Structure 1
Amino acid sequence: MRHQNIEFGEALRILAQKAGVELSQASKQDSDKRSKLHAVNRLAASWYQERLKSSEGAAAMDYLKRRGVSPEMIDTFQLGYSPNRGNPLKNYLSGMGASEADAIEAGLIYRNDEGRTWDFFRDRLMFPIHDRQGNVIGFGGRQLTDPAPDAPGYNPKYINTAATPIFDKRSSLYGIHRAHSAIRESNTGIIVEGYMDAIAAHQYGYTNVVASMGTALTENQVSQLKSLATNFILALDPDTAGQEATLRSLEASWKVIGDQSASRGRSQGILYQRDPHHPQHSRAPRRQRP
């Protein structure tokens, strides 16, 4: 769990497969559920890819071309498009034998209080989000037009899959499945804000780059990165929002590092140790027992 920063159930499943051990019923049920959600997300990602390369994905493809994204990166990151018509994904998944309940639980289909269901993502450039093992755990969708915030029916520029049994935005890093080896090998990770920033970096050979998906780094994300390397560079936007995100990211980073320092028996947090002017730095050291 600590080495790969994965949940207990996932670690148990991986080790059981390696050792040839049969999981207990409760563990097997949890593993089966995760496998089903991975599978339905994988189907959706492939379908979105096909839609991007079809005539109805022309506007999304034009946007990618304007942003300079190469065809190789489109395939590498499995970019796609969600149509703005009916419920085509819902119908496709049903035709492929996927359970509607699993699609709802995966966040691909929305169900209201009256029981009506429809495709959650519509008319958006789709960014599949993967875990470190390469499983599709969720999606981000970018609106292709930028209406005014006060426009009727306004939708945010980016939306993500809601929290599911396999996806939590605060614990996920975009591009980690492509970057983890390079981060480990170089002992350095670079964190950017958005999907497009991460893709652009990989396109130009900077394969140790991940994105925090438009938010400041969280403690869970920092913990995951700390399992790979010890050096990190925050390359966030220079605007006010980016500066605030940088400060919040540093706070989360220091907290994780400080907690790890404390767990090793250090009497002071690493932040205080590096700041000779901090009041705590001037405290007398604790008297050691014989």
Structure 2
Amino acid sequence: MGGQQRVYRQRIRSTQSLKKIFRAMELIAASRIGKARARVISAAPYSQAITRAISAVALHSTVKHPLTSKRTDTNRVAVLAISSDRGMAGAYSANVIREAERLRTRLMKDGKEVVQFVAGRRALSYYNFRNREIAGEWTGASDAPEIRVAKEIAQALFHAFEADVEDGGVSEIHVVFTHFTSMVTQEPRVIRLLPLEIVEGVAESDAEVEPLYEFEPSSEDVLDALLPRYIESRIYSCLLQAAASELASRQRAMNTATTNAEDIIRQYTRLANSARQSEITQEISEIVSGADALAAS
């Protein structure tokens, strides 16, 4: 019985240590989520404005720009998967990787060759374990992305799209990330950055009377100037959305883990008390039996 008590007490102490870690990580995530949500909101107006500008140029100009038209000289497609650097965030990274694998399967069924780009150690570990070739990787600050990292990713993807076929050029660029809807809902999404899809920035009311645009110096020069900024803003927006989703998932997962740890502690406490009571009962029985034996002799 004494051995059982020691085992139960040891498990209680170890679970209490884990509970402290879970609680600390929950509080850290809770303290950062507000700032992450504010960054998402503050970055949205610029992203929407530059998307409207790009859409207007592409829709109302007659020039065929290589960044707005489909490329037919290669079947390679770039896919950027944005995951977390650390674990303990529930199924956050697993959902992103699963969505990226679904996209990869669809593209390969269409006869496309996938060129993989990765942001976050979790996705990097997943692809390295499966010996997948990685064209570019960025790790270190998934829960607090910097504009510098977004520019590096955008430049790498932009260079891959502009490169010649013999240099590994790609015909499309897709991004897999987690969209932050609320503290409860985070949804994995796939967007196609290039070629540009005109799906945003043009209101339905504008379709009846289309305004006239004049581009100075030319629509092609405007596209050359705006498209790199557009890609940077969209990549940065995806990173911010992913960071907010990661923190929300980690806070929720750590809250659940803390609750589970408390349940385990209560369970082992009852078992330890039961073992202690059984030991006391056994000792009393032995004392009474010894006393009866002495009295009978």
- TM-score for both structures, normalised by structure 1: 0.21
Bigger fraction of residues in helix: 2
Larger RCO, structures 1/2 (Cα 8 Å, 6+ apart): 2
